Structure 1
Amino acid sequence: MRKYQRHSAEVIKKSHSKSTGSALVTSWRRSALKFELDPAEDYRPERLTEAELSLRRDAIGKFLHLATPQLDQVFKLVGLPGRNVLLSDADGVVVDQRIHTADTRQFQEWDLWPGANWSEAVQGTNGIGTCLVEGRQICIHREEHFRTRNIDMSCMVAPIWGPDGRLLAALDVTSARDDQDEHSNSLILSHVANVARTIEAMNFRACYPDARIIFASKDGSDPAMLLAVDRDDLVIGATLTARRALGLEREGDITHVPAADLLESDADLAEQGFYSAERVVLTRALARAGGNVSAAARLLGIGRTTMYRRMARAGLG
């Protein structure tokens, strides 16, 4: 009991401190001041009904289908008794999980169950909710949680970004094991982050079935740093890491730009399997000129009439 009282007092003290503090204290402060939560309150929000949960699952149905084998893989590797593999949607609502049958009662009592809301606004600082707020992989270990009722668990979570650059989900491993320490937390978090990137890349490819998918990183070190390019060498999609690295729009549709303008040289395009067809050359020039035919002709060093003739031959209206 004293452990919980000390934790509650520490959270309240640091949440109301005027000092800047760490990222963790910033999250505690959001929980206390912005969301007006009480760390000592044993609050258990109602879970979604089966019908409500079904609607949320349907909204990301194709993504869930792709993610399912990866959840199985994570559980196979790290799913010792006392651990729970969870997938939430972008709102922090748990939509899928993997546990051992013997752990069912414990995790149900902790609300680590499909339909439960683990957003920061509801639960305060926690793995899923804080990961989604801050948009980064994170570990919330025991007393780092905001609510005292959650300080016997450790959460290792990584975000999964959609093809539009917006948050789509969070992949979480929560442990209630007594032997869970910082070293095991670090190993699990590294694996969770890698699997999250794999799921992100798989989903991105599935969203652009007719496009050529290329690595935006030259060494291919980040499997989720991808571009989707159409037959005219125009970028029509990019993952979040590719958007950040190449200075593209942070969210939403990509304003069509030639892939050659984003990669280092035309030689790089050749390595990716592109060919210097006249249609590609013309399309690049038009994209660079913002669709202005006269300006595109000047970029190519040809006359406007010639430009139109070559466009017609290439099937460009």
Structure 2
Amino acid sequence: MRACRVTAFDQPPQLADTALAPPAAGEIQVAIRAGALNFADTLMCTGRYQDTPEPPFTLGLELSGKIIEIGEGVTGFQAGQRVAIYSGQGGLAEAGNFPADRCIPIPEGLGYAEAAALQIAYGTSHMALDYKARLQPGERLVVTGAAGGVGLTAVEIGKLMGAEVIAIARGADKLAIAKAAGADHLIDADSPDIREQIKALGGADVVYDAVGEPLYEACFRATNPDGRILLIGFAGGDLPKMKPNHMLVKNITAIGFYWGAYLNFNPAPLRASLATLFDWAAEGRIKPHISHRLPLDQFAEALELIRSRQATGKVVLEP
């Protein structure tokens, strides 16, 4: 089978033919129909992601496909069944073996690309806003990077949860996408007065920050007393400059959130969240926005779309 392989951190990934062994005990072998890309994939290429495996490995944190074969000891699945998988690696390939406990049946009416694209982006936003920040109806939610793969889901889920959503993104085209996802107010990321614009709207009760500096500073200064700031990622390249003395005076809580870690130390809320999201998707209440669908041999172009932030929503490779 063909797979997008990282063989060394100082070399670009390559599409290579690799052997596929039978599934081991506890594993399921899947013919991959869609692999969704994430910003983390661009970091894994150079070993800068917190969960990067040692080379050689296959890129691709999340995927969907059809079961080929069941490994020893696996119950509840059958050959031919459609599943989505948060794999951590191995998704950018034609097939692979994955732990059965990471597989989720795909409900009828949900396509492979949507099922692959739903897991990390929607899972991150739903758990962050619901389980961690306890977002309440009527609260004001500010989302940075609001047209990106993760930020766009925060806009959509925040609106579903009853919040008033302020979307921050760069340029009219991206802001239009955030508006279509449900944003109530739009702020261009290049504006010189972001703090003042948020304050004029009543300030932020919850900030969902997927960018870092320089947007973090403006959003922090516009956060209301007793507000919560979710630290989701640092796509802007610079870590937030935390001011604990100001946080103390305003009773502001900063919440670090890394979705994938819950699989290792507390998987129950993650699985409950995904069950909710798959139900919402099957009911049409959420619809993953996929801006680019490319064949596997265009993986380099797909990674560049993520790296250069040209994508709006998700980028999916379809072997």
Q: Would you call these one fold, judging by a TM-score over 0.5?
A: no
- Larger helix percent: 1
Q: Report which of the two structures shows the higher radius of gyration computed on alpha carbons.
A: 1
- In terms of fraction of residues, the more strand-rich structure is 2
Q: Which has the higher contact order (CA 8 A, sep 6+)?
A: 2
